Amino acid sequence: MSFLSAPASLRTALTSATKTSSQLLRPASSIPRHLKSRNHAHRHFSSTRPAQTDTLMDVSNFTESQLTVRDSILKITAKFDNAYWREHDLTETDPWELHAALAQDGWLGIALPEEYGGAGLGFAEATMMLQTITQSGAGMAGAQSIHANVYATNPLAKFGNKQQIEKTIPGIISGKHRICFGVTEPNTGLDTLKLKTFARKSSDGISGQKIWITCAQVATKMILLARTTPLEEVKKPSEGLSMFCIDLSEEAKRTPGSGLELKKIRKMGGRAVDANEVFFDNYEIPADTLVGKEGQGFKIILHGMNAERCLLAGEALGLGYAALEKAAGYAKERVVFGRPIGQNQGIAHPLADAYMNLEAAKLAAYHSAMLFDLSGTEEGSWVTPSMVGAMANSAKYLAAEAAFKSCERALMSHGGLGYAAEYDVERWMRDCFVPRLAPVSREMILNYISEKVLGLPRSY
């Protein structure tokens, strides 16, 4: 399947963006080098659209294709109001209708190559898609319902063989397959190189345990990182890890003794999507599930980790802007002591400060996504992996902190009503801890920047 056979709504939207921007773009010489597209002229810095009035967020720094993605996703998310998300949060029910709607219009393949049926766009556009979903009121649950489908498939498309790609990628784009990402383990946490889940070349299969695996209950595929050579037999801890794309069939999930067991984790936020402990006990997998070369899994998985940080930054921004917009609206309407509470600087100043933090984090987030898209291309030959790592981690950190500030202040601005579910800010407050904790903690990001950017001695 090619771009020409993609769903008409996605094809029309992207074609329209190309035509509009190619006619009215700035001369190429005036475009900053890091903003130039690798393939698509319509991804240049936009000078054609006025600032949109449906959001507090300034949109003047976005490309034409990013704004087109935003417009198109808003039309889909308009079908899922806050009442929908409150109900799914309360009942812990998967938002499969959103996943189906996005799949129907081709958006699950936004960052996958056109030759495999994807849209061929970059993570600058994918980040915009995830931010728009979160900001619509869906919160982290809406974003996480498709999160792994967007970034965890990137290493598969890049390093998988032709047979694996043709067997899996079209199903991901169509919505037939939902993906989960299996890396974190309860006894190793962020020390990924020490993970213990082991895959053997025998009928023994995989044995081990993963934790905090989002959407495992509804996923049909898992991108799995497992050790294939014992740690004590490798020269470097990063060696001997391999990446697999394995099946998680409903039959195996429900059948005792299959070697696969899922245990749902009750959690604070994002309750509409499941989080799980996943247990493997000699779970058999075919040899052709290995992605790339054996023992090179850590290098492969790193390709998706920076992408995930970009997406998490966008999702955090979406939470922050949603909460801030709600608080600003409430502060204009709520009258106490004869005047709107927003007239009081004790309310107005904290919200204004939250806005500035979000805007600064937004620039960092989309700068990192642009760098990620340029890396590995001829035009982006000046972009180094260390540069992408530093910017992606920084963006994720800054956006998560800005979102937390915005959500906390939005809740407090509502007073007692901020504690009520019907005002939504309490749900977003619960959600906003996710980007602060995952996929890497604030402290580990500070360690990374200290060591890799500032050149300070390693502290762990």
Domains and CATH numbers, the chain: 3-159 (1.10.540.10), 178-297 (2.40.110.10), 298-453 (1.20.140.10)
pLDDT at residue 60 in the model: 94
More confident residue, 376 or 208: 208
The answer to whether the CB of 368 falls within 8 A of the CB of 309 is: yes
Confidence of residue 22 (pLDDT cuts 50, 70, 90): very low
Nearest CA to 43 among 59, 20, 9? 20
Q: Is the pLDDT of residue 20 over 70?
A: no
Query: What's 457's DSSP letter?
Result: P
Least confident window among 27-31, 150-154, 414-418, 448-452:
27-31
pLDDT at residue 35 in the model: 34
Mean predicted confidence (pLDDT) in 177-203: 92
Nearest CA to 31 among 18, 20, 41? 41
Q: CB under 8 Å to 382, separation ≥6 — which residues?
A: 33
How high is the mean pLDDT of the chain?
A: 90
Query: What are the strands, taking DSSP E only, across 305-388?
Result: 335-336, 339-340
pLDDT at residue 16 in the model: 58
pLDDT at residue 70 in the model: 98
SS3 378: coil
Confidence of residue 264 (pLDDT cuts 50, 70, 90): very high
Confidence of residue 37 (pLDDT cuts 50, 70, 90): very low
Q: What Rg, from alpha-carbon coordinates, does the chain have?
A: 22
Confidence of residue 164 (pLDDT cuts 50, 70, 90): very high
Rounded to an integer, what distance in angstroms lies between the CA atom of residue 54 and that of residue 31? 27
Q: Is the pLDDT of residue 116 over 70?
A: yes
Q: Is the pLDDT of residue 46 over 90?
A: no
Task: Kindly report, residue by residue over 316-375, the tens digit of the pLDDT.
Answer: 999 999 999 999 999 999 999 999 999 999 999 999 999 999 999 999 999 999 999 999
* Phi then psi dihedrals of residue 456, to 5 deg: -80, 160
Pairing state between β 179-182 and 198-199: unpaired
Q: Is the pLDDT of residue 24 over 60?
A: no
In percent, the amount of the chain with pLDDT more than 90 equals 85
Mean predicted confidence (pLDDT) in 137-148: 97
Task: Kindly report, residue by residue over 272-301, the tens digit of the pLDDT.
Answer: 999 999 999 999 999 999 999 999 999 999
Look up residue 400 and give its two tokens. Answer: 């998560």
Rounded to an integer, what distance in angstroms lies between the CA atom of residue 331 and that of residue 343? 8
Task: Kindly report, residue by residue over 395-435, the tens digit of the pLDDT.
Answer: 999 999 999 999 999 999 999 999 999 999 999 999 999 99
Look up residue 335 and give its two tokens. Answer: 């009258």
pLDDT at residue 21 in the model: 39
Nearest CA to 131 among 143, 120, 123, 119? 143
More confident residue, 48 or 186: 186
Mean predicted confidence (pLDDT) in 82-102: 98
Alpha helices, DSSP H only, in 277-384? 297-333, 345-374
Per the document, the length of the chain is 460
pTM of the model as a whole: 0.91
pLDDT at residue 38 in the model: 41
Rounded to an integer, what distance in angstroms lies between the CA atom of residue 370 and that of residue 353? 26
Q: Is the pLDDT of residue 17 over 90?
A: no
The answer to whether the CB of 224 falls within 8 A of the CB of 301 is: no
Q: Is the pLDDT of residue 244 over 60?
A: yes
pLDDT at residue 23 in the model: 34
Phi-psi region of 289 (alpha: psi -120 to 50; beta: other; left: phi over 0): alpha
Rounded to an integer, what distance in angstroms lies between the CA atom of residue 300 and that of residue 151? 12
